[in-house]
Amino acid sequence: MMRSFHAIACERETLAATLDTGDRQTALLIVSGGNEIRSGAHAGMAQLASRIAEQGFPVLRYDRRGIGESSGQNSGFLGSAEDIAAAVRFLKEEQSAQNIVAFGNCDAATALALFGPDAGIDGYVLANPWVIETSNAPDTQEPTISSAAIRSRYWDRIKNPRTVLDLLSGKIDFRKLLKGLKQASQSEENSALSLRLRDALAGLDQETNILLAKRDTTARAFLAAWNSADFEPIRKKASITVENLDSASHSFADIPARNWLTGKILESLRQA
């Protein structure tokens, strides 16, 4: 296994990329979420790439335009179609990859569902897909947390016996709790972004594994949309599976979550 650094042409700009080599013909493309550079938080994506490459699968990571060492302007995840396509071309044309499975977390998962088909991706691992609307790009503005995510969070607190003790001791502000419960009780429609993601998932015929850290706020918002009537036809698609991990770690940072994520990605690579 070797790690090498590359410059990938993307329109008139350059993507800084890192390739971990492997001898298999199926490669993994890792797409970073938010404004995260390709190494990931605390080098999490770099470590993931090493674990996958140790099993013989080449792994490519890159910085989106305007992020990290890449040139150009940062247009957010909704402006990343050309970045994804350029990375796929690099793997297929310059590395001779026969099949490409793509992994993304948060808004990178949503970007892959939206733009992956046109790029020629052969399989997807989508973690905690982003469906929360913001006034601008979700990596630069505060998101509007969905009522469904708030309901889920408060339900977890109410089920915890310690909550009663904290209320009695004054550690929890009773007025704030009531305000939160009132906000959580509000009904809501699916966001325009979630409906756009639904339509994208409807068009995916490739094997798609959606992974959720079920106590993560982003995952809870996605799961609320997934379980709604709007997503009912998509839930019946044989090519899409949804798996939950009892974790609050959005980036699967702890050892059990990290091992679970690695195992699921390897399953998808071996089945591609």
Render each residue's pLDDT in the chain as its tens digit; 272 residues: 799 999 999 999 999 999 999 999 999 999 999 999 999 989 999 999 999 999 999 999 999 999 999 999 999 999 999 999 999 999 999 889 999 999 999 999 999 999 999 999 999 999 999 998 864 444 544 445 555 555 555 455 555 666 555 555 666 565 665 565 555 555 457 889 999 999 999 999 999 999 999 999 999 999 999 999 999 999 999 999 999 999 999 999 999 999 999 999 999 999 99
Range of the domain at 76: 3-142+190-271
Q: Where are the beta strands (DSSP E) in 63-108?
A: 99-105
What pLDDT was estimated at residue 29? 98
What pLDDT was estimated at residue 141? 44
User: Of 246, 240, 176, whose CA–CA distance to 209 is shortest?
Assistant: 240
Let me know whether 155 and 177 are in one domain.
Answer: yes
Let me know whether 81 and 211 are in one domain.
Answer: yes
Let me know whether 183 and 206 are in one domain.
Answer: no
End position of a domain, from candidates 172, 187, 202: 187
Instruction: Tally Cβ neighbours within 10 Å of residue 60.
Output: 25
- Phi, psi (deg, nearest 5) at residue 269: -65, -40
Residues 6+ apart with CB under 8 A from 187: 147
Let me know whether 107 and 177 are in one domain.
Answer: no
What pLDDT was estimated at residue 159? 57
Let me know whether 31 and 118 are in one domain.
Answer: yes
Q: How far is CA 106 from the centre of its chain?
A: 3
Let me know whether 64 and 104 are in one domain.
Answer: yes
Let me know whether 71 and 176 are in one domain.
Answer: no
Query: pTM for this one?
Result: 0.83
- Kindly state the tokens that stand for 66: 């305007």
Let me know whether 39 and 169 are in one domain.
Answer: no
User: Of 145, 225, 150, whose CA–CA distance to 184 is shortest?
Assistant: 150
Let me know whether 134 and 41 are in one domain.
Answer: yes
Segment (H or E) for 82: helix 81-89
- Phi, psi (deg, nearest 5) at residue 124: -135, 140
Q: How far is CA 190 from the centre of its chain?
A: 19
| Domains contained in the chain, number | 2
Let me know whether 172 and 129 are in one domain.
Answer: no
- Phi, psi (deg, nearest 5) at residue 246: -75, 80
CATH number, domain with residue 198: 3.40.50.1820
User: Of 92, 94, 72, whose CA–CA distance to 83 is shortest?
Assistant: 72
Let me know whether 136 and 14 are in one domain.
Answer: yes
Residue 53 contacts residue 125 (beta carbons within 8 Å): no
Instruction: Give the whole-angstrom CA distance, residue 32 versus residue 259.
Output: 19
Let me know whether 152 and 98 are in one domain.
Answer: no
End position of a domain, from candidates 129, 160, 187: 187
Residue 121 contacts residue 206 (beta carbons within 8 Å): yes
Instruction: Give the whole-angstrom CA distance, residue 269 versus residue 203.
Output: 21
